[in-house]
């Protein structure tokens, strides 16, 4: 970006800033009346429940790009890839409002697959405003944010549908995805097409794909509770105990008690992290907090959903056994 150019930044997508994405929403021109509001309602529900992730890229405070993903069931992805159709994201986000739908993983299912076979990530919607003053920086921020919000998740496959000539050209030129299908959406105004691309860990490794970083994963060791994860995530953004108390809506005494449990857990599970801390202060104090936060920055899986330690061990063992059996049963040459 040239000196004096626009300021470009990225923020996490939340139910509160989600409405800012409506004017950019990919493929909205072909939606039926009131359908976009229903889709946004489903998206907000998934974000609230922690079953969707995303980011908005702003240029001088104006949203110029965004992306949102959710986690689909293996059955849905298998059926979809066998018979691709346009608006896969719209279908999933409408399903989010249906408690009987079997297309999106529950939070418990996300946790289980996160430590076992991996997650089927679907880009529910993404868009890029070509009116940006600095489109290259906006696109770069979107890619960086896409990587950042998925750090720590065990991903098996990404399915991405983009809308319009500009976005389709970006996907084609990047060569990051295997193109599954291109659709003519039959828009009565300006012609509108969409493109569906897929990428697996194996493909990313074979192609030396820039998105290979999406598939990097190391399992958690510390197994913080959801409440502890929430406190650590807020602490990573900075602030005193008083600030954290206000953000979390809990008393300062509860913040301190939660920190004590976190520090005691780390002292038991990974005592080597505190090796340089004088013995009387191990398991408590500001110094140990900083060590914990530094560790979590380098090991983001500690803040993603996962089942209990015993269940995680069983799932990992089962996944390892199935892979060994699969290899052993390959035909011999």
Q: Nearest 5°: CA angle at 287, between 285 and 288?
A: 75
Phi, psi of 282 (to 5 degrees): -65, 140
Of all residues in the chain, the percent with pLDDT exceeding 90 is 76
Q: Please check the confidence at residue 261 and state whether its pLDDT lies above 70.
A: yes
Q: Choose among 155, 168, 134, 122: nearest CA to 58.
A: 134
Cα 127 → chain centroid: 16
| Fold classification of 8-215 (topology level) | Aminopeptidase (3.40.630)
pLDDT of residue 284: 60
Mean pLDDT estimate for the chain: 90
CB-CB contact of 89 with 120 (8 Å)? no
Burial grade of 84 (CB within 10 A; 0-12, 13-18, 19 or more) = middle
d(CA 94, CA 98): 7
Express each pLDDT in 141-177 by its tens digit. Answer: 999 999 999 999 999 999 999 999 999 999 999 899 9
pLDDT surpassing 90 at residue 248: yes
Q: Is 61 left (phi over 0), alpha (psi -120 to 50) or beta?
A: left
pLDDT digits (tens, 9 = 90+) for 274-309: 888 876 655 567 788 999 999 999 999 999 998 877
| pLDDT tens-digit readout, 32-77 | 999 999 999 999 999 999 999 999 999 999 999 999 999 999 999 9
End-to-end CA distance of the chain: 55
pLDDT on residue 328: 42
Alpha-carbon distance of 257 to 265, in angstroms, equals: 12
Question: What are 176-209's pLDDT values in tens digits?
Answer: 999 999 999 987 777 899 999 999 999 999 998 8
H helix intervals, the chain: 35-49, 74-82, 88-95, 107-114, 135-149, 165-174, 201-207, 226-236, 241-248, 252-269, 286-298, 309-328
The pLDDT confidence band at residue 210, using thresholds 50, 70 and 90, is confident
Show me where the domains of the chain are located: 8-215, 226-303
Task: Kindly state the tokens that stand for 9.
Answer: 């930044």
């Amino acid at each position: 970006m040239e000196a004096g150019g626009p300021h470009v930044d990225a923020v996490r997508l939340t139910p509160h800033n989600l409405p800012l994405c409506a004017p950019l929403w990919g493929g909205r021109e072909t939606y039926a009346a009131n359908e976009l509001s229903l889709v946004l309602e489903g998206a907000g529900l998934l974000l609230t429940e922690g079953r969707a992730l995303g980011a908005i890229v702003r240029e001088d405070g104006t949203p110029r790009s965004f992306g949102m993903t959710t986690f689909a069931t293996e059955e849905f992805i298998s059926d979809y890839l066998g018979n691709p159709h346009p608006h896969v994201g719209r279908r999933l986000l409408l399903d989010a409002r249906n408690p009987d739908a079997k297309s999106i993983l529950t939070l418990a299912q996300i946790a289980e697959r996160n430590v076992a076979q991996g997650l089927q990530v679907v880009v529910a919607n993404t868009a890029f405003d070509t009116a940006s003053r600095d489109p290259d920086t906006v696109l770069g921020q979107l890619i960086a944010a896409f990587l950042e919000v998925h750090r720590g998740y065990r991903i098996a496959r990404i399915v991405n549908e983009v809308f319009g000539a500009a976005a389709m050209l970006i996907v084609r030129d990047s060569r990051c995805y295997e193109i599954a299908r291109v659709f003519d959406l039959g828009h009565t105004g300006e012609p509108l097409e969409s493109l569906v691309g897929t990428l697996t860990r194996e493909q990313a490794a074979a192609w030396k794909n820039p998105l290979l970083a999406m598939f990097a994963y190391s399992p958690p060791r510390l197994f913080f509770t959801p409440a502890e994860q929430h406190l650590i995530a807020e602490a990573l953004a900075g602030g005193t105990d008083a600030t954290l108390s206000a953000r979390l809506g809990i008393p300062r005494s509860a913040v301190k008690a939660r920190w004590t449990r976190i520090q005691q857990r780390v002292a038991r599970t990974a005592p080597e992290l505190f090796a340089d801390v004088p013995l009387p202060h191990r398991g408590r104090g500001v110094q140990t907090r900083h060590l914990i936060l530094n560790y979590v920055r380098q090991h983001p899986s500690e803040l993603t959903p996962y089942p209990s330690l015993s269940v995680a061990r069983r799932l990992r063992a089962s996944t390892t056994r199935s892979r060994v059996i699969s290899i052993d049963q390959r035909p011999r040459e």
